[in-house]
Amino acid sequence: MSENSTEPLMENPAAEKSGRAESIVLVNTGDGKGKSSAAFGVMIRGIARGWDVAVVQFVKSGNWNVGEEKIGRQLGVDWFNEGEGFTWNSEDLEHDKAVARKGWAQAQSLIEANEHQLIVLDELTYLINWGWIDPEPVYEAIRNRPPKVNIVVTGRDAPQELIDVADTVSEVRKVKHAFDEGILAKKGIDY
């Protein structure tokens, strides 16, 4: 039976598998909307399980006042805004790059500290793809994370090396987006 079949599964596809992992690395990538939203769904699930959770946002600044940050902070998430916003609005890309490097240092410290069962690295792929941070330490930190630290990475165009260190990779594909019709981001839906 193919993945796209409309017939219900009659056998458990995981029946032969019984392995468990102490932690998982998820990557949400692609050109569609919902990569970060899916990561924040995992954030909520982790909180509901009593996990200590941290989020590092690498593009959105603390000035955005996003809903997921508001609820995350209310629920005890350690939240770090390590971005300066959209690059096309930047007045100083060199400053933005320095903020990105500081943000990665913060994320790496969180991973190594082994104090969180879940760390969301929101929009990390951009920093790698733009050459703002050295990617090798990123892959090494994720690969060598403490056993109980689960990681979710979001952003378009995940590099192959990041895909290789991940356990699960989901690609969100854009079929249609309101922005293409000139509709700006909507509070409560997009942020």
| Structural domain contains residue 5 | no
Distance CA 183, CA 177 (A): 9
Number of domains in the chain: 1
Distances (CA, A) of 90 to 34, 47, 86: 24, 34, 7
Helix (H) or strand (E) holding 58, with range, is none
Does residue 189 lie in a domain region?
no
Average pLDDT, the chain: 90
Query: How far is it, in rounded angstroms, from Cα 58 to Cα 154?
Result: 10
In a domain, 56, yes or no: yes
Residue 57 lies in a domain: yes
pLDDT computed for residue 106 by the predictor:
96
Q: In what order do the strands lie in the sheet with 118-122?
A: 78-81, 53-57, 118-122, 150-154, 25-29, 168-171
> 163 lies in which domain range?
25-181
Inside any domain, residue 15: no
Q: Which residue has the tokens 């356990």?
A: 167
Question: Does some domain include residue 2?
Answer: no
Checking if the pLDDT of 33 tops 90, the result is yes
Q: Is residue 10 part of a domain?
A: no
> Does the residue 6 lie in any domain?
no
pLDDT grade for 161, boundaries at 50, 70 and 90: very high
Q: pLDDT for 97-155, tens place per residue?
A: 899 999 999 999 999 999 999 999 999 999 999 999 999 999 999 999 999 999 999 99
| 1 pLDDT more than 50 | no
Residue with tokens 């000035």: 63
CATH code for the domain in which residue 59 is found? 3.40.50.300
Look at residue 115 and give its three-state secondary structure.
coil
